[in-house]
Amino acid sequence: MGYGYTPPANPAFEMRMRGEIIAAARAMNAGGTDFSTFKNSRCNPRFWTRTANGGFELNANVTPSAAINDIFVNGQLYAFECAMAMVMILYRATISMIGEAAFNRYFTGLFLWDWSYDSNLKMITTFNLAELQPGDVVYFKNPDHDPNKPEWQGENAIMLSADRYYGHGLGIKSASEMITSLNRQRVPGSRTSAYLADEGLHPDFAYIASLGNARFGPPVSGKDEAGEAIYSRIGVKSYIIR
């Protein structure tokens, strides 16, 4: 296989990775991590340095896989918001699928903040609810949220099954239960309900598989010339690639 080649989609690999995404979401739910705003985020200083904006920057003396795995092992040391949780879950599933050595080769210099992620975690977006599958990241939008609580403008969640979702801070719930929880955070007197948005994200499974199989060429940089990662967000229609 030549450098830069991405093979056709492998249904078996996709099925296994979707299972690993679900398993990682369940592990986070059981792992003792807390929900917080960026202002109050915290991390294990052995693996991460907390930045001024509430993000987590990988320490120079640890491997990326060890730092990600620590979030699921020592969850009580961590607090973060729901978008960061989604990226952590996708990284954990990627480690499970391609192995620690390949992950450490391609996912260097990790920085966790909101929907910022390494470019090797290529993402595919769908805008059709009928196309969503377990293992996808979905978004429950709360358009009339209390303006004093911007953290409740919506909830990023992993679809676990036909009507079960994991959202960091809300736990595992049905769609109606997610919506009910968000509706409690609306402007007083509002009649505008939260809802499941018609968009979702999932990794480019074929590309992730190619990272595990790669044998030739130098590591693919996850950053551009300015050293920044890809940034996108589910819940809006624009995606910024830098």
What confidence score (pLDDT) does residue 240 get?
28
Please tell me the chain's helix, strand, coil percentages from 3-state DSSP, rounded to the nearest 5: 35, 20, 45
> Could you tell me if residue 168 is inside a domain?
yes
Tens-digit pLDDT profile for residues 56-113:
999 999 999 999 999 999 999 999 999 999 999 999 999 999 999 999 999 999 999 9
Tell me the one-letter amino acid at 77.
Answer: L
Number of structural domains found in the chain: 1
Backbone angles phi, psi at 14, to 5 degrees: -60, -45
Residue 125 has pLDDT above 50, yes or no: yes
Residue 211 is assigned to a structural domain of this protein: yes
For residues 151 and 90, the model is more confident at 90
Listed range (1-5, 49-53, 152-156, 166-170) with the worst mean pLDDT: 1-5
Residue 237 lies in a domain: no
Residue 124 falls inside a structural domain: yes
Domain annotation covers residue 3: no
Mean pLDDT of 154-183: 97
If one compares 217 and 6, the residue with the highest pLDDT of the two is: 6
pLDDT of residue 9: 59
Q: How far apart are CA 121 and CA 230, in angstroms?
A: 9
Q: pLDDT value at position 213?
A: 81
- In the numeric block, which tokens belong to residue 209? 């598989």
2, part of any domain: no
Q: In the structure encoding, which two tokens stand for residue 75, read together?
A: 């969850």
Q: Are 221 and 12 in contact (CB under 8 A)?
A: no
Domain region containing 195: 11-231
> What pLDDT is stored for residue 233 in this prediction?
47
Output 66 or 230, whichever has higher pLDDT. 66
Read off the pLDDT of residues 7-35 as tens digits, 9 standing for 90 and up.
Answer: 555 899 999 999 999 999 999 999 999 99
Question: 242 in a domain, yes or no?
Answer: no
Residue 239 lies in a domain: no
